[in-house]
A and B are shown apart, each in its own frame.
Chain A
Amino acid sequence: KNEVEQSPQNLTAQEGEFITINCSYSVGISALHWLQQHPGGGIVSLFMLSSGKKKHGRLIATINIQEKHSSLHITASHPRDSAVYICAVKGAQKLVFGQGTRLTINP
């Protein structure tokens, strides 16, 4: 079993839909990151969380430390949100990554 599990692996939705991507982890962490990787391959850091909730534009990330679970939400999704979303947890120093969720938003 991987230390970081994401679900779903693939998600296709229509423009405007509310999107939720889940991340569960089995190790103790100091922080959790949500990353976005576009088809061109570049990686952008969206959020870093150690507790609670963060919001940036249409993106919301939450984390429940007791349940070892985090969610990434996208409101009013748009085709430009199509990308791979990656959850990564940080212990002492290094990041451990989930396999990613491939999101496709159709117009």
Chain B
Amino acid sequence: QVQLQESGPGLVKPSETLSLTCTVSGGSISSYYWSWIRQPPGKGLEWIGYIYYSGSTNYNPSLKSRVTISVDTSKNQFSLKLSSVTAADTAVYYCARVRWELRYWYFDLWGRGTLVTVSS
């Protein structure tokens, strides 16, 4: 059974770069798309972007200038970097598997999420 686990610092200083990793266990990262989604405390979900195992990416236009998603197939991991963070980036960050059916896509498997707080 495939499982996703987020990891990374829980506290990041303003203006610095947030870095998180998602480890895929119980299955291969290959042949799938993988995504990051976040949720500020008490608020709704926001899609950040996705990456294919080959490395192609697609980002939310509202975050595109600050986001980089990368993949390491040898480690069965993909990662998120969000630069120049502010308090507004404080959120629970989820990694998720993207399911494609023809030209439609959605999130069929989620990690448990990790809280990242931006504060000095």
- Are the chains A and B members of one assembly? no
